[in-house]
Amino acid sequence: MSQREVLVDVLRRLSDPDDLGAKEAAQKLVTEVDPLELSLAEQQLVDEGTRPEELRHLCAIHLEVLGDQIQDFRAQLPPAHPLRTLMLEHEKLLGFLAELEDVNARIQASEPAPQDLELLRAIADNLIDGNKHHQREEDVLFPAMEELGITGPPRIMRLEHDMLKARKARLQELLSKQMDLQEFRKELAGLAAFIVFNLRDHIFKEDSILYPAAWRTITSKAEWERIREECDRIGYCSFTPMG
- What's the rounded Cα separation, in Å, for the pair 98 and 5? 38
Q: Are residues 118 and 21 in the same domain?
A: no
Those residues with Cβ within 8 angstroms of residue 109's Cβ, 6 or more apart along the chain or in another chain: none
Task: Please tell me the total count of domains within the chain.
Answer: 2
Q: Which domain holds residue 42?
A: 3-67
Q: Which tens digit of pLDDT belongs to each residue from 7-25?
A: 677 767 766 667 777 777 7
Cβ proximity of 204 and 67 under 8 Å: yes
Q: Are residues 40 and 124 in the same domain?
A: no
Sign of CA dihedral 228, 229, 235, 239: positive
- What's the rounded Cα separation, in Å, for the pair 173 and 170? 5
Is 99 among the domain residues? yes
Q: Are residues 51 and 131 in the same domain?
A: no
DSSP state of 177: S
pTM: 0.77
Q: Are residues 52 and 146 in the same domain?
A: no
Is 95 among the domain residues? yes
Query: In CATH, what number is assigned to the domain containing residue 169?
Result: 1.20.120.520
- What is the predicted pLDDT for the residue at 89? 97
Q: Are residues 51 and 94 in the same domain?
A: no
Mean pLDDT, to the nearest integer, of 91-112? Answer: 95
Q: Are residues 36 and 104 in the same domain?
A: no
Q: Are residues 130 and 63 in the same domain?
A: no
| Average pLDDT value over all residues in the chain | 86
